[in-house]
Chain A
Amino acid sequence: MDANQAKFDYLLRQADNALILSQQLSQLCGKGPALEEDMALTNVALDLLGQTRMWLSYAGELEGQGRDEDRLAYLRDTREFRNVLLVEQPNGDYAQVMVRQFLFDTWHYFLMRGLLASSDKRIGEIAEKSIKEVTYHLRRSGDLVVRLGDGTDLSHAKMQAAVDELWTYAGEVFLYDAVDQAMQAQGIAPDPELLRAAFLNHVADVFEEATLTMPSPEGYMQRGGKQGRHSERLGYILAEMQFLQRAYPGVEW
């Protein structure tokens, strides 16, 4: 695989994970279960959007075809998106929102830590900028998983149902394909096994405190998003996110 193409794909994966999750969280603006949660959701969405811009700008420069961050965000179709399936799962109830967030934050945190040592200087810089925000996200989502999991019978039941529902989407990030392998071989991306071990360790700790049962990490895991094979839902997310640029190409305000 062409080295630049692999890196471009890898950058799109980071960007699209942040972008799609940001878009999903933004859809909850004004709908949070409490004012504090509403602010938190939108602030996390904002952080992720900022991170998206850093990744997409780099991807566009690397590609050298004149596509900037906006063109990459607004003018690619579903098959060109490289986000994992986890982040396109529906917002659902608040348990689903928080479990999705916690699983993502945990992986995101350990990945950014790994990328601090990336052989690609700019990737290391983006990780250095992002990890502070990601750490704060992880603190918060972990706290909420514990409060809701170890809360009332009802909140516990909803959290366990969300864990069981989303668990098969937790493993895609560790399934390395040719792109990931090329990145790891060049010292750009961290070892997936170390990442997975750190992820499972932290999830197990938090779930134990939250009195939640962790499903087996060895079971079947959904896959495909990283290669551009998405659920139907991504089309709806993009339809809303890209509407303006599709309907009024090049519009600015």
Chain B
Amino acid sequence: MAAVETSVDQVWAWLADVPDPEIPVISVVDLGIVRGVAFDDGSGACVVTITPTYSGCPAMQVIAEDVENALRARGLERVRVDTRLSPAWTTDWMSEAGKAALTGYGIAPPVQQVIDISGLRNGVKRHAIRQPDVACPHCGSMHTRLTSQFGSTPCKALYQCLDCREPFDYFKCH
């Protein structure tokens, strides 16, 4: 395939079509994983910088491969995927479109800006940290409760709706 001339904006648009392998309704861009797109002055390679969500998340390797494959499929011959640790990924980077897609998929999106939940700063007692109010993605009720601090992937916790009784995943603030 011939090499194509393309722009950084175009690459971003293409990446917006690359789904997260675990939660395919949200793209790697909407998830905030893609931190930069640039063309290397020397080699001309397209360099995509990604950041891991959780350090042990097994999806990260798949995401790097998916990004590379997606751009090659668009005709980019030289693609490199770099990983950056800092600043560390936060759910604050998730787009509004991404949050809406999660809700539609039955996963409650993160409900607050990330705060320090340790409760160990400024003399705040450990138990004084308020649990977030999470809306049921099925019926919208705020009458929900945490059933498990961990769920099917590192980024989620399990909740149950006390009105419609459905269990659901909650994408944790991170």
How far in angstroms is the closest Cβ of chain B from A146? 8
Q: What chain A residues lie within 8 Å of B172 (beta carbons)?
A: 136
Residue of B nearest to A138 (CB): B118
Q: What chain B residues lie within 8 Å of A138 (beta carbons)?
A: 118
Given contacts A43-B154, A129-B88, contact A136 B117 (CB under 8 A): yes
How far in angstroms is the closest Cβ of chain B from A209? 7
When the two chains form their complex, are residues B85 and A128 in contact, meaning their CB atoms are under 8 A apart? yes
Q: With an 8 A cutoff between CB atoms, is B86 at the interface?
A: yes
Residue of B nearest to A34 (CB): B148
Residue of B nearest to A39 (CB): B150
Q: How far, in whole Å, are A158 and B90 apart by their CA atoms in the complex?
A: 38
Q: What chain B residues lie within 8 Å of A109 (beta carbons)?
A: 118, 120
When the two chains form their complex, are residues A54 and B150 in contact, meaning their CB atoms are under 8 A apart? no
Given contacts A128-B87, A129-B86, A142-B126, contact A50 B55 (CB under 8 A): yes
When the two chains form their complex, are residues A129 and B55 in contact, meaning their CB atoms are under 8 A apart? yes
Question: Interface 1/0s, chain A 186-211, versus B by CB < 8 A?
Answer: 00000000000010001001100100
How far in angstroms is the closest Cβ of chain B from A99? 16
- Complex interface residues of chain B between 123 and 153 (CB less than 8 A to chain A): 125-127, 129, 147-152
Q: With an 8 A cutoff between CB atoms, is A62 at the interface?
A: no
Residue among A51, A54, A132, A198 with most chain B CB within 10 A: A132
Q: How far, in whole Å, are A184 and B86 apart by their CA atoms in the complex?
A: 23
Number of interface residues of A (CB under 8 A): 35
Q: How far, in whole Å, are A47 and B148 apart by their CA atoms in the complex?
A: 17
Q: With an 8 A cutoff between CB atoms, is A166 at the interface?
A: no
Q: What chain A residues lie within 8 Å of B125 (beta carbons)?
A: 205
When the two chains form their complex, are residues A130 and B55 in contact, meaning their CB atoms are under 8 A apart? yes
How far in angstroms is the closest Cβ of chain B from A33? 13
Number of A-B contacts (CB under 8 A): 82
Does more than half of chain B's interface fall in helix, strand or loop, or is it mixed? Answer: loop
Given contacts A50-B55, A54-B55, contact A43 B150 (CB under 8 A): yes
Does more than half of chain A's interface fall in helix, strand or loop, or is it mixed? Answer: helix
Question: Interface 1/0s, chain B 20-63, versus A by CB < 8 A?
Answer: 00000000000000000000000000000000101111100000
Q: What chain B residues lie within 8 Å of A43 (beta carbons)?
A: 150, 154
When the two chains form their complex, are residues B148 and A132 in contact, meaning their CB atoms are under 8 A apart? no
Q: With an 8 A cutoff between CB atoms, is B80 at the interface?
A: no
When the two chains form their complex, are residues B174 and A132 in contact, meaning their CB atoms are under 8 A apart? yes
Residue among A36, A53, A128, A138 with most chain B CB within 10 A: A36
Q: With an 8 A cutoff between CB atoms, is A72 at the interface?
A: no
Q: What chain A residues lie within 8 Å of B18 (beta carbons)?
A: none
Q: With an 8 A cutoff between CB atoms, is A125 at the interface?
A: yes
How far in angstroms is the closest Cβ of chain B from A116? 10
When the two chains form their complex, are residues B56 and A36 in contact, meaning their CB atoms are under 8 A apart? no
Q: What chain B residues lie within 8 Å of A50 (beta carbons)?
A: 52, 54-57
12 further A-B contacts with Cβ under 8 Å, apart from A133-B55, A138-B118, A139-B129, are A36-B149, A39-B148, A40-B150, A46-B57, A47-B56, A51-B56, A125-B86, A129-B85, A132-B90, A133-B54, A139-B119, A209-B127
4 interchain residue pairs of minimum CB distance? A50-B56, A50-B55, A36-B148, A46-B56
